[in-house]
């Protein structure tokens, strides 16, 4: 791994809060399983309530970090893994760290379409999350601004200091946004237009947050007009009564898969495999569907109680996960060298 990115991730690791487990006191035993996840805390608690009913013999302990923080933890602990598995973390991050995982094809693996799993079993995806803007209607009216409908709109001078987005080094949402812009502007064909676009966009950015949900929350409070976030978080802010509207960029919304992987050197491999089997079960997928625009098991539609759109109504950008995984180090390093001055802790 590139030394510069490794140093960045190690710094992130040192700034992490102490590891706090949920699920009772730690005890040695074959039923114990330790999980790192980048899933949002509220949805994770809901999923695990179901898991504990359906897996009563497992002593489940978990901790939630952003995608970049999960990567930092795994790298720092690679000689002595403290977790047994990763659950619900950006597939681009997992593919980059593949040497830390051991292949395992959970029960249900064969039911997943090919694009949602690693052919050797290093990871299996459970859901998709999609980039979206949280647009504060009251702030727009106060500032006399038109509703932005595209990334291009957000580069206009009138949106100066009215936009917040996530840091692609620490946030999976941030990386899918940056990588989709670069792909849209032809980076695979050797064009630099995407970087020039990001520089132009940067002129209007107030700051880059460490998590993908923070921009939606900040926009909801009316501190800025537009928070570049992801669909579910924007929908949740709307349901909570905030004066925000969900906007999908007209150029196409970047998206990411959230996936699971078994750690090499896991201390509780049998329990980890039982949990990974459960994560691809129909019951688990139905639970995810309450929070996600799409899950990976065919035939299960979103059952969200908040206003998530049908995937067919959203223009998805044609992502290339193999490419974005292979080039993540160089993209994050270049992005950091250009824009790190606006990255602030939450």
pLDDT tens-digit series, residues 311-326: 788 899 999 998 999 9
Pair 151, 86 in one domain? no
Contact 128, 293 (CB under 8 A): yes
Q: Which residues, 6+ apart, have CB-to-CB distance to 223 below 8 Å?
A: none
DSSP string covering 195-248, please? HHHHHHHHTTEEEEESSSSHHHHHHHTTSSSEEEEEHHHHHHHHHTT-SEEEE-
Pair 197, 107 in one domain? no
Pair 187, 171 in one domain? yes
Pair 289, 246 in one domain? no
- Among the residue ranges 70-84, 123-137, 238-252, 297-311, the one predicted with the least confidence is 297-311
Pair 15, 87 in one domain? yes
Strand partners, 63: 36
Pair 88, 139 in one domain? no
Is 78 among the domain residues? Answer: yes
Question: Residue 292 pLDDT more than 80?
Answer: yes
Question: Residue 202 pLDDT more than 90?
Answer: yes
Is 231 among the domain residues? Answer: yes
Percent of the chain with pLDDT strictly greater than 90? 79
Domain that holds residue 223: 130-254+324-342
Pair 68, 32 in one domain? yes
Is 317 among the domain residues? Answer: no
Strand partners, 197: none
Pair 226, 273 in one domain? no
Could you tell me the CATH number of the domain that includes residue 117?
A: 3.40.190.10
Pair 90, 8 in one domain? yes
Helix (H) or strand (E) holding 95: helix 91-96
* Whole-angstrom Cα Rg for the chain: 19
Of the two residues 24 and 206, the one the predictor is more confident about is 206
Span 59-66, mean pLDDT?
95
Pair 66, 176 in one domain? no
Is 315 among the domain residues? Answer: no
Is 314 among the domain residues? Answer: no
Pair 202, 336 in one domain? yes
Is 137 among the domain residues? Answer: yes
Strand partners, 36: 63, 86
Q: What is the predicted pLDDT for the residue at 231?
A: 92
Contact 166, 228 (CB under 8 A): yes
Place of tokens 């079960």: 281
Tokens in use for 273? 């495999």
Domain count, the chain: 2
How buried is 245 (Cβ within 10 angstroms: 0-12 exposed, 13-18 middle, 19+ buried)?
middle
Pair 204, 333 in one domain? yes
Handedness of CA 319, 94, 169, 294 (dihedral sign): positive
Contact 231, 130 (CB under 8 A): yes
Q: What is the predicted pLDDT for the residue at 30?
A: 57
DSSP annotation of 115: G
What is the spatial distance between Cα 160 and Cα 163, in angstroms, rounded to a whole number?
7
Q: What is the pTM of this model?
A: 0.80
Label residues 277-293 b or e (16+ Cβ within 10 Å = b). bbbbbeebbebbbbbbb
């Amino acid at each position: 791994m590139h030394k510069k990115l490794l140093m960045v991730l190690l710094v992130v690791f040192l700034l992490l809060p102490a590891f706090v487990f949920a699920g009772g006191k730690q005890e040695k035993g074959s039923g114990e399983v330790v999980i790192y996840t980048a899933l949002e805390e509220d949805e994770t608690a809901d999923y695990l309530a179901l898991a504990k009913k359906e897996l009563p013999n497992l002593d489940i302990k978990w901790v939630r970090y952003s995608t970049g923080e999960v990567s930092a933890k795994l790298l720092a602990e690679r000689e002595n893994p403290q977790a047994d598995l990763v659950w619900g973390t950006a597939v681009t991050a997992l593919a980059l760290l593949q040497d830390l995982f051991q292949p395992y094809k959970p029960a249900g693996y064969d039911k997943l379409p090919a694009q949602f799993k690693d052919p050797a079993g290093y990871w299996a995806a459970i859901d998709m999350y999609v980039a979206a803007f949280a647009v504060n209607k009251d702030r727009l009216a106060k500032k006399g601004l038109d509703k932005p409908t595209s990334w291009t709109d957000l580069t206009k001078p009138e949106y100066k200091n009215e936009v917040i987005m996530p840091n692609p080094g620490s946030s999976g949402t941030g990386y899918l946004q940056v990588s989709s812009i670069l792909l849209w502007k032809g980076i695979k064909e050797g064009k630099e237009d995407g970087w020039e676009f990001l520089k132009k966009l940067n002129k209007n950015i107030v700051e880059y947050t460490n998590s993908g949900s923070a921009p939606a929350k900040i926009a909801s409070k009316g501190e800025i007009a537009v928070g570049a976030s992801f669909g579910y978080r924007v929908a949740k802010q709307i349901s909570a009564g905030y004066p925000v509207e969900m906007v999908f960029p007209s150029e196409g919304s970047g998206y990411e898969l959230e996936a699971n992987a078994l750690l090499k050197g896991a201390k509780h491999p049998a329990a980890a495999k039982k949990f990974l089997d459960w994560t691809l079960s129909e019951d688990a997928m139905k639970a995810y569907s309450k929070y996600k625009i799409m899950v990976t098991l065919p035939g299960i539609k979103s059952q969200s109680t908040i206003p998530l759109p049908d995937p067919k109504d959203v223009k998805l950008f044609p992502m290339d996960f193999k490419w974005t995984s292979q080039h993540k180090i160089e993209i994050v390093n270049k992005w950091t060298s250009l824009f790190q001055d606006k990255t602030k802790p939450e």
